[in-house]
Amino acid sequence: MLLDLKEIFVSDGASKDVSYTLSLSEVEISGEYPFNSPVEVHARAENKAGMVTLRIDASFTYHTSCGRCLVPIERQFDYHFSHKIIENLEEDYNDDYIEAPDLTVDLDELTSSDILLELPTKFLCRGDCQGLCQKCGHNLNLGDCGCDKMEIDPRLEALKALL
């Protein structure tokens, strides 16, 4: 969705609100498609003292599997982003501002990149997740599997003889 900001840049105190849904169902993260439902996006652009600020609120449900035990999990996220929009950058590169020479902003691209950069890198079903047994693959959150945990790595077997 292209957000037209011409009216906002022209008059001080002007504002514009937009609400829509953004589909990220085609986004693949670590071999999964975690965005099963659309992202609810609410954006507000306003001009205060000649500076246009774009605030974005994004709410969505994220479906993935635990990084340790592979149990499916679902998390609700509510993110809030803020960007300063200017017509032209005087420097070559500046992270503090978003340049909009034609006074429009691609809200889909901006929101999706904000969300993807903000997501955690690892998801766990709970903070004390035990994961899977390295030998048999049993989910250790459900109880002990009975495998011998004291097996020595064959590469270090020679060190055992020294003790």
* DSSP for 91-153, written as a single string: SS--TTEEE-TTSEEEHHHHHHHHHHHHS-S---SSTT---B-TTT--BGGG------TTPPP
Residues 38 and 98 both lie in one domain: yes
Q: Is there a contact between 132 and 139 (Cβ–Cβ < 8 Å)?
A: yes
The pLDDT tens digits of the residues spanning 82-103 come to 999 988 877 666 778 888 888 8
The pLDDT tens digits of the residues spanning 114-137 come to 999 999 999 999 999 999 998 889
Residues 134 and 111 both lie in one domain: no
Residues 104 and 142 both lie in one domain: no
Residues 74 and 154 both lie in one domain: no
Q: Which pTM does this prediction carry? A: 0.82
